[in-house]
Amino acid sequence: MRQLLDGIAADLQDYQRMLDLIAQQFEAAVRHQSERLGQIAQDISALVDVLQARRAQRVELATRLVGPQPSMAQVFTLLKPEPRARLEADWAQLEGMVQVAREMGRRNAELLAEQYTIMQRVLHGDDQTYEPL
């Protein structure tokens, strides 16, 4: 149980770092800082690997604690009221951070795709530009 709790606490810290990186990615994209975008992408990728490994460990630990097809709700029931309330609050905060990271990532992807499309039009022309009537 201690490893599971520590993993959630570590995820909270790492997801805050992820949110910061995604915000930096947006700023670098807006400023067309391609080198900075590359470094941020590497940082995000490394952090995703850490988070994925921790998630796999959490599933394994939860399975050991409550059996096959574990859920965090089942894990919560193993704790006394005060630690349970803290874990539920931490878990809700983590889920919220994951959702925000997804939304920010989607926004960044849309911005980068739009920038790419515009650059392609500038470099290769737009089929509809200067088309005779």
**What's the rounded Cα separation, in Å, for the pair 29 and 111?**
8
In a domain, 85, yes or no: yes
Kindly report the pTM of this predicted structure: 0.85
Predicted confidence (pLDDT) at residue 45 exceeds the cutoff of 70: yes
Chain segment 11-39, per-residue pLDDT in tens? 999 999 999 999 999 999 999 999 999 99
In a domain, 17, yes or no: yes
How many domains does one find in the chain? 1
In a domain, 58, yes or no: yes
The pLDDT assigned to 59 comes to 96
In a domain, 129, yes or no: no
The boundaries of the domain holding residue 114 are: 2-124
In a domain, 93, yes or no: yes
The pLDDT assigned to 132 comes to 57
56: CATH: 1.20.58.300
In a domain, 133, yes or no: no
**What's the rounded Cα separation, in Å, for the pair 4 and 2?**
5
The pLDDT assigned to 117 comes to 84
Predicted confidence (pLDDT) at residue 127 exceeds the cutoff of 80: no
pLDDT band at 121 (very low <50, low <70, confident <90, very high): confident
**What's the rounded Cα separation, in Å, for the pair 76 and 84?**
6
In a domain, 107, yes or no: yes
Chain segment 50-107, per-residue pLDDT in tens? 999 999 999 999 999 999 999 999 999 999 999 999 999 999 999 999 999 999 999 9
In a domain, 81, yes or no: yes
**What's the rounded Cα separation, in Å, for the pair 128 and 29?**
27
